[in-house]
Amino acid sequence: MKTSLHHVFALVVRRFEDALHSFYVSEVIKGASLAASRLKIDLLVHVTEKKVHVDWLNSPTLNLEYVDGILFADIDCDVKTLKKVLDKKIPCLVMNNYLKDPINCISIDNKNAAVEAVEYLINLGHTKIATISGDLSTQAGKDRLEGYKVALTQNKIPINLNYIRTGNFLRTPAHQAAETLLSLTDRPTAIFAASDIMALEAISVAGKKNIKVPEQLSVIGFDDNPILSYSALGLTTVRQPITEMGRLAVENLYQIVNKKAKQVPIKVLLPTKLIKRESCKEVKK
């Protein structure tokens, strides 16, 4: 039972490989912690299974007796279980998903970010553009793949299914995806990876195959991960405001809990910025 005079918020994070060391999770926690500290909120991190969300309903922690509100770092598109949580009358806010339902949410504009990234490659003269998609059980993964397809379609470039591989936002699957793409007879001249970690794996595979980046292969990532500072080659990437999303999530849930929100449900879609560096080059005619 709550004994603190402060509000208590639970931050639900899904379990996956190196979850608490991932750029996304660490940035969300950073932003949420900064806001929580300023607003005198105790923040509890609750790690849940990736696909089985029954603990959202039966965990003693995720109960109004113990917490004032719940922040979901992601819901893996599981709106059905989320609605059961809402039925318990616990104030909730979902990050990394933009939902049409009357549910509080704050997300990144992943689809348009992907469109902009792929159109940048198209403007450089690339038509053989592949993608290494993220985890397609997440809205972010789906939207970035959709943005890739939209950009090609809008520019009348046929979608080549051989150029679409899944990396799940992880190193090993991304490495395997890049191996497949760069072993094709008609290999791509550019790769849009749905995360910087996966983009770096593509560059690594290209190096082993003596494919020069950016002379023979242009690569774009997504995140603007600090790990890029250790890369010998500046990676063109999409900068997304994850820390800002975590901060806004706490601030908005605080307003909801204290019945000060001007309008509910709260829905925010945050813009991104394409950061152009050395990993992309114009195609030689």
Tell me the DSSP string of 221-280.
-SB--GGGGG-SSPPBEEE--HHHHHHHHHHHHHHHHTT--SSSS-EEEE--EEE--TT-
- pLDDT score at 5: 59
Rounded CA-CA distance 223/195 in Å is 6
Mean pLDDT of 133-162: 97
259 and 235, same structural domain? no
- Inside any domain, residue 1: no
Q: What is the pLDDT of residues 88-99, one digit of tens each?
A: 999 999 999 999
Range of the structural domain that residue 18 is part of: 7-108+241-270
How high is the pLDDT of residue 231?
Answer: 87
Tokens 């299974």, residue located? 49
Q: Where are the alpha helices (DSSP H) in 103-195?
A: 110-123, 139-154, 171-181
CB 93 within 8 A of CB 106: yes
Cα–Cα nearest to 173, from 17, 14, 27:
17
Q: Is 137 found in the same domain as 33?
A: no
Model pLDDT, residue 77:
87
Q: Which two tokens stand for residue 96?
A: 């990394």
- Give the mean model confidence (pLDDT) for residues 143-160: 98
The phi and psi torsions of 10 (rounded to 5 degrees) equal -100, 130
Do residues 123 and 223 share a domain? yes
Identify residue 96 by its one-letter amino acid code.
N
Label residue 19 by pLDDT band (50, 70, 90): low
Residues 258 and 145 in one domain: no
Co-location of 123 and 206 in the same domain:
yes
CA separation (Å) from 73 to 38, 49, 139, 205, 278?
20, 13, 12, 31, 32
- Do 202 and 119 have their domain in common? yes
Domain-located, residue 283: no
Q: Is residue 278 in some structural domain?
A: no
Of 198, 219, 239, the one marking the end of a domain is 239
Same domain, 88 and 143: no
Residues 134 and 219 in one domain: yes
pLDDT band at 16 (very low <50, low <70, confident <90, very high): low
Residue at 21 is within a domain: yes
For residue 73, the domain's CATH number is 3.40.50.2300
From 145, 164, 90, 140, select the one nearest 242 (Cα to Cα): 140
Question: Are 118 and 234 in a shared domain?
Answer: yes
**Is 101 within 8 Å of 75 (Cβ atoms)?**
no
Taking 70 as the threshold, does the pLDDT of residue 47 lie above it? Answer: yes
On the 0-12 / 13-18 / 19+ scale of CB atoms within 10 A, 166 is buried
Does 75 share its domain with 141? no
Amino acid present at 86: L
Q: Is the pLDDT of residue 4 over 60?
A: no
Residues 129 and 25 in one domain: no
Q: Is residue 71 part of a domain?
A: yes
- Assess whether 121 and 166 both reside in one domain: yes
184 pLDDT above the threshold of 90: yes
Q: How far apart are the first and last CA of the chain?
A: 69
Number of domains in the chain: 2
pLDDT tens-digit readout, 49-67: 878 899 999 998 898 889 9
Nearest to 69 by CA among 210, 270, 258, 221: 258
For residue 93, the SS3 value is strand
Q: What is the mean pLDDT of the chain?
A: 94
pLDDT at 1 over 90: no
- Asked if residue 285 belongs to a domain, the reply is no
CB 45 within 8 A of CB 72: no
Q: What is the share, in percent, of the chain residues with pLDDT greater than 70?
A: 96
Residue 213: inside a domain, yes or no?
A: yes
Residue 275 maps to a domain: no
Other residues' Cβ atoms within 10 Å of the Cβ of residue 4: 9
